[in-house]
Amino acid sequence: MSAAPFDPTAPLTPSGNLRRRRLFSRFAEYGATSAALVAVAVLAIVVYSVAVEGASAISLDFLFEGAPVGIAPELVGTAELVAIATVIAAPIGVLIALYLTEFGDRRAAGPLRTTLDLMNGLPSIIIGLFIFGLIVEATHKQSGFAGSVALAIIMLPIIARGTQEVLLLVPANLREAADALGVSRWRTVLGVILPSAMGGILTATVLAVARAAGETAPLILLDSAFDGSEVSLNPFEAVPNIPTTIFRLSEEASPTGFAQAWGAGLVLLVFIMVSSLCARMLLARTRRRMAAQ
């Protein structure tokens, strides 16, 4: 028998390499904490600077008038573009999620999920180029509809994956209960599964809306040749929208344009943050309700 590696009767203060291990541990802890703080700080600084720079531009006229005073047409236009994109993407996204969780072949589900994740990572400018070739070249003009289709492609994987996650939370015993009543699968989906998951589906949709509302690259290609002085709703013409207006105003060599760009940025930022927060709250409520079962 060799001697014990330490003296069990020694005082219980750090011995051996414990001091060094402690130091490393503390180093790692501080590193992780400060990285987390950096993330919060970046968001805080961005929000703060947009708020400070943009606040001076915000006024009732700014929100309710057209160019050159305000951005009302752009606000309405962005709402319209995103609404059309949602109408296209939400049903398809929910159906994809239903295929993944309720109907699909297990072997097809994996590759389809990967496809959606890859789609989520597609650079938006490439989606813009694709739709440019598909719609703008064919119709020889930019249009809000072309922009909406591009936004729908961006929203689709977010809605599909988000809905899939929440459908997986629907308890399996509800499906069993419905099966045992001799009700067909589609009726079960409509009557039991979708209502249980509705909160989560809304969440996924709102998150996708928040993402799409700020997308700029595809709109520069597809929907930037507009006159921002009046509200124009025809989606088959170019529709004024906020992201490209921010882009255009910030390129102008005039201080008022620049201030307006900040103002429009603030409006967009507030919209996106409020809708994201609402989405999170909705999701938390859905999760609580499902956990209660």
x-or-dash pattern for another protein, window 112-151, by CB under 8 A?
----------------------------------------
CB of 47 to another protein, least distance (A): 38
Cβ pair 67, 75 in contact under 8 A: no
Per-position DSSP letters for 212-247, written without gaps between them:
HHT--HHHHHHS----TTS----TTS----HHHHHH
Q: Of the ranges 82-90, 153-161, 210-218, 285-293, which one interacts with another protein (CB under 8 A)? A: 285-293
Q: Which of 90, 91, 112, 92 is nearest to 100 (CA)?
A: 112
In the complex with another protein, the residue whose CB is nearer, 55 or 177, is 177
Determine the Cα angle at 223 with ends 222 and 229, to 5°.
165
Site for another protein in 90-109 (CB under 8 A): 106
Cβ pair 244, 157 in contact under 8 A: no
CB of 198 to another protein, least distance (A): 11
Q: Is 173 in the site for another protein (CB under 8 A)?
A: yes
Q: Is 178 in the site for another protein (CB under 8 A)?
A: yes
CB of 283 to another protein, least distance (A): 17
122: its two tokens: 């597609």
Residues 228 and 240: their CA atoms lie apart, in Å, by: 6
Among 179, 227, 230, 252, contact with another protein (rule: CB under 8 A): 179
Q: Is 182 in the site for another protein (CB under 8 A)?
A: yes
CB of 278 to another protein, least distance (A): 22
Per-position DSSP letters for 146-199, written without gaps between them:
HHHHHHHHHHHHHHHHHHHHHHHHS-HHHHHHHHTTT--HHHHIIIIIHHHHHH
Binding-site size, another protein (CB under 8 A): 22
In the complex with another protein, the residue whose CB is nearer, 26 or 187, is 187
Among 76, 192, 194, 220, contact with another protein (rule: CB under 8 A): 192
Neighbours of 186 (CB within 10 A): 11
Using CB under 8 A as the criterion, which residues of the chain lie in contact with another protein when the complex forms? 106, 171, 173-174, 176-185, 187, 191-192, 195-196, 289, 292-293
